[in-house]
Amino acid sequence: MAGSSISPGTTQRQSEIPPQRTPPGGQVAVAMKAVRMGTELLTDAVAGLDEDSGKAPSLLPGWTRAHVMSHLARNADALVNLLTWARTGIEHQMYASKADRDADIEEGAQRLVQVIKEDLLAAGQRFEFAVGALSDSEWSASVGHHALGQISVAMVPMMRQFEVCVHMVDLDLGIGFDDLPPALVEPLLGAAARPNLAVGGGPVTTLRVELADGGQRTFELMATDRDGEVSGPAGAAVGWLTGRTNGAGLTGELPDLAPWR
């Protein structure tokens, strides 16, 4: 999958969506810029899928590419629920239940591939509009997340960036984490490392991630049996931390990781 880095293509559909308001500075603005970039790359990547290639297996066990695209569409709508919660003050959970979430993905994956692609684009547009609908003060609201508990709604754009980028790789269309622009892959490091961060005592593996600007990010991970050090570029680190690769591109003794959720 690794190769020369790809850049946003000529897809114009996302840029045609007029934002209702400009999100406040800081993490929301940065994440939304990445969401738009990632969505354009995703849209270009799936554009050529037909019925056969769209129903072919993805890199996720038991899921076809149609399942992955349907999940990405429903995830956008689920995150719109959190944005609506912040805007209205009325609770809107991401999903009614895990069973409902899974059923929606399975049902959605049975549709015509062209319909799935159109649904994915429309869901991304709904997310864009929902982001633009929040006022500056509403971005300080807290909402409930089914896995993380209470979170700031300002985390939602970053959550969408993570989903778009990771599942773009899962589609198995020749795009790996090393192929994504640094602005897309480097912000994924924190969320990717979180399940394996060292807490309390015990051996620690220090993960040193080399950034495109020459900088470095360091994470202290739980080690298997003794202290160690692992290093490498961001794409290789994200692929390993999310269970998508075996750690190719990293140097050092790799500890066992917790299964990716």
Q: What is the pLDDT of residue 170?
A: 98
> Residue 3's pLDDT band (boundaries 50, 70, 90)?
very low
The H or E element that residue 144 is part of is strand 142-145
Strand partners, 205: 221, 228
Mean pLDDT of 210-217: 96
| 76: nearest Cα among 110, 108, 53 | 108
Quote the CA–CA distance of 186 and 144 in Å, as a whole number. Answer: 26
The fraction of the chain above a pLDDT of 90, given in percent, is: 79
Task: Name every residue whose Cβ is closer than 8 Å to that of residue 190 and which is 6 or more positions away in sequence.
Answer: none
Quote the CA–CA distance of 95 and 82 in Å, as a whole number. Answer: 10
Quote the CA–CA distance of 135 and 92 in Å, as a whole number. Answer: 18
> Residue 83's pLDDT band (boundaries 50, 70, 90)?
very high
The tokens of 5 are what?
């880095």
Quote the CA–CA distance of 237 and 250 in Å, as a whole number. Answer: 7
> Residue 25's pLDDT band (boundaries 50, 70, 90)?
low
Name the range with the highest mean pLDDT among 20-34, 114-128, 145-159, 189-203.
114-128
Strand partners, 251: 231
Quote the CA–CA distance of 169 and 147 in Å, as a whole number. Answer: 23
The tokens of 173 are what?
């269309």
Q: What is the pLDDT of residue 16?
A: 39
- Asked whether residue 46 carries a pLDDT value surpassing 50, the answer given is yes
Contact call for residues 231 and 218 (beta carbons, < 8 A): no
| 106: nearest Cα among 63, 153, 145, 156 | 63
Coil/strand/helix, residue 58: coil
Domains belonging to the chain, first-starting first, are 27-180 (1.20.120.450), 188-252 (3.30.1050)
Mean pLDDT of 165-183: 96
Q: What is the pLDDT of residue 6?
A: 42
Strand partners, 222: 204
The model scores a pTM over 0.85? yes
Q: What is the pLDDT of residue 250?
A: 98
Q: What is the pLDDT of residue 74?
A: 97
> Residue 56's pLDDT band (boundaries 50, 70, 90)?
very high
pLDDT digits 0-9 by tens, 225-255: 889 999 999 999 999 999 999 999 999 999 9
- Asked whether residue 258 carries a pLDDT value surpassing 90, the answer given is no
The H or E element that residue 104 is part of is helix 98-109
Q: What is the pLDDT of residue 20?
A: 45
> Residue 146's pLDDT band (boundaries 50, 70, 90)?
confident
Mean pLDDT of 174-181: 96
Mean pLDDT of 155-160: 96
